[in-house]
């Protein structure tokens, strides 16, 4: 067992390297980048300074000291730069209007300013250089700095991961607590009213979108009980009441959404197990029906169910995104969504690496759980 776990842990390294390479490659295919969004959003100004640097460089190349250049020399060089841009755009310099000249100047200034930002942030590097630089820092525990806001990605993840863990664990507990008992009841009462009712409930859980259910819950609580959820998130250890008020309802909604698949699978596995020869033998020997179900059937039916529970771990991230947005929960999924919207490369890679690590660890836990549930399974 220990050797198997150690081997799987070592295999995490090439897996995570592969994930980082793929994510970095896909990011380069996205239209625009963080610099375009940053400049378009008006968060930074500097086009005028960038244009001045271009003119200074051209004056220096012309043998003149930029600090001592006359207004006439500077105006002449500015016109040279603007005329070059006009020609590049296919506009006749002699017939160009003042508006066209102004637009050409702005284009040159903005392009130079963006290039300067890309160079400062390392976005001008090629694929291998960009990934190598990130990987070298990541090995040292530095996931980089957010391009939007200049906040360390590691600090943001430390703040948001516990929030997502709380929401994910509560959602998974709700899912398991609903699906397994009701799935067992549905199988034991096959083709009865309880079976039909529970199967309909599972279909409804799969069919109703989480955002619709969340909207209905918020509207009903507000309309009939005059209740509104907390506006600001609070840590569990700082303000348990506010935290649970904000997290419990999204966790219930998330758990209900995940329980549909799990309930139907539990029912199917229980029906298969209850038809096995050893179950009939146990009943023939006089073992009570509840004893057969609790001591023999459930344990063997849980093996494939555990697999699905493990596969639902990445679904928690995507499934919780809408709920985090609606309820204002500052989790990892919301951070990933904001980072993708802003083309914030370091944040996107950092979040994906965390999610990939969680998925790998969850799969390892599932494999080890097999041995606990079924002694016939051996981890070779």
Give tens-digit pLDDT for 256-289.
888 888 898 888 888 888 777 777 777 776 666 6
- For residues 105 and 52, what is the distance between their CA atoms, to the nearest angstrom? 11
Same domain, 317 and 201: yes
Same domain, 186 and 308: yes
Q: CATH number, domain at 340?
A: 1.10.3720.10
Q: Domain for residue 21, yes or no?
A: no
- For residues 115 and 129, what is the distance between their CA atoms, to the nearest angstrom? 17
Minimal CA–CA distance to 263: which of 209, 195, 320? 195
Same domain, 97 and 220: no
Same domain, 334 and 290: yes
The pLDDT, as a whole number, for residue 252 is 92
CB 270 within 8 A of CB 184: yes
Q: Domain for residue 128, yes or no?
A: no
Is it the case that residue 96 has pLDDT exceeding 70? yes
Same domain, 163 and 96: no
What residues form DSSP beta bridges with 152?
145
Mean local confidence (pLDDT), 221-243: 86
Number of domains in the chain: 2
The confidence band for 41, taking pLDDT boundaries of 50, 70 and 90, is: low
Higher pLDDT, 290 or 361: 361
The alpha carbons of the chain give a radius of gyration, in whole angstroms, of 30
Token couple for 47: 């086009």
- For residues 194 and 342, what is the distance between their CA atoms, to the nearest angstrom? 49
User: What range does the domain containing 228 cover?
Assistant: 153-373
Higher pLDDT, 145 or 38: 145
pTM strictly above 0.75:
no
Same domain, 239 and 321: yes
Q: Domain for residue 148, yes or no?
A: no
**238 in helix, strand or coil?**
coil
CA pseudo-torsion sign 204, 209, 212, 218 = positive
CB 85 within 8 A of CB 107: yes
Same domain, 199 and 117: no
- For residues 373 and 301, what is the distance between their CA atoms, to the nearest angstrom? 9
The pLDDT, as a whole number, for residue 363 is 80
CA pseudo-torsion sign 37, 42, 44, 47 = positive
Same domain, 301 and 203: yes
The pLDDT, as a whole number, for residue 89 is 84
Same domain, 161 and 115: no
Same domain, 111 and 167: no
Same domain, 195 and 276: yes
Same domain, 82 and 169: no
Is it the case that residue 222 has pLDDT exceeding 50? yes
The pLDDT, as a whole number, for residue 178 is 92
User: How long, in residues, is the chain?
Assistant: 380
Token couple for 20: 């980082």
Mean local confidence (pLDDT), 108-128: 77
Q: Domain for residue 9, yes or no?
A: no
């Amino acid at each position: 067992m220990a050797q198997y776990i150690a081997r799987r842990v070592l295999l995490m390294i090439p897996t995570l390297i592969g994930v980082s390479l793929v994510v970095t490659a896909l990011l380069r295919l996205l239209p625009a980048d963080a610099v375009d969004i940053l400049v378009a959003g008006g968060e930074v100004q500097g086009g005028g300074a960038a244009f001045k640097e271009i003119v200074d460089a051209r004056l220096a190349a012309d043998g003149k000291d930029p600090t001592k250049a006359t207004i006439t020399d500077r105006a002449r060089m500015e016109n040279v730069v603007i005329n070059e841009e006009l020609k590049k755009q296919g506009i006749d310099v002699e017939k160009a209007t003042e508006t066209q000249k102004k637009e050409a100047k702005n284009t040159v200034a903005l392009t130079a300013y963006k290039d300067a930002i890309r160079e400062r942030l390392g976005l001008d590097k090629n694929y291998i250089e960009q990934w190598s630089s990130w990987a070298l820092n990541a090995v040292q525990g530095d996931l980089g700095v957010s391009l939007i806001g200049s906040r360390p990605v590691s600090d943001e993840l430390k703040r948001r991961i516990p929030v997502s863990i709380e929401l994910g664990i509560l959602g998974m507990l709700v899912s398991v607590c609903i699906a397994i008992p009701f799935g067992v009841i549905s199988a034991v009462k096959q083709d009865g009213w309880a079976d039909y009712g529970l199967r309909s409930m599972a279909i409804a859980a799969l069919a109703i979108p989480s955002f619709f259910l969340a909207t209905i819950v918020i509207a009903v609580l507000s309309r009939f009980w005059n209740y509104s959820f907390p506006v600001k998130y609070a840590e569990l250890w700082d303000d348990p009441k506010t935290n649970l008020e904000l997290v419990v309802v999204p966790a219930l909604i998330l758990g209900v959404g995940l329980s549909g698949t799990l309930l139907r699978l539990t029912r199917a596995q229980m029906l298969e197990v209850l038809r096995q020869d050893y179950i009939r033998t146990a009943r023939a020997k006089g073992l009570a029906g509840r004893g057969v179900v609790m001591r023999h059937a459930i344990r063997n039916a849980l093996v494939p169910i555990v697999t699905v529970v493990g596969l639902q771990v990445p679904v928690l991230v995507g499934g919780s995104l809408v709920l985090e947005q609606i309820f204002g929960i500052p989790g990892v999924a919301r951070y990933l969504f904001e980072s993708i919207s802003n083309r914030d490369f370091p944040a996107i890679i950092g979040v994906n690496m965390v999610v990939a690590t969680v998925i790998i660890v969850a799969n390892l836990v599932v494999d080890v759980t097999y041995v606990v549930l079924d002694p016939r399974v051996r981890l070779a």
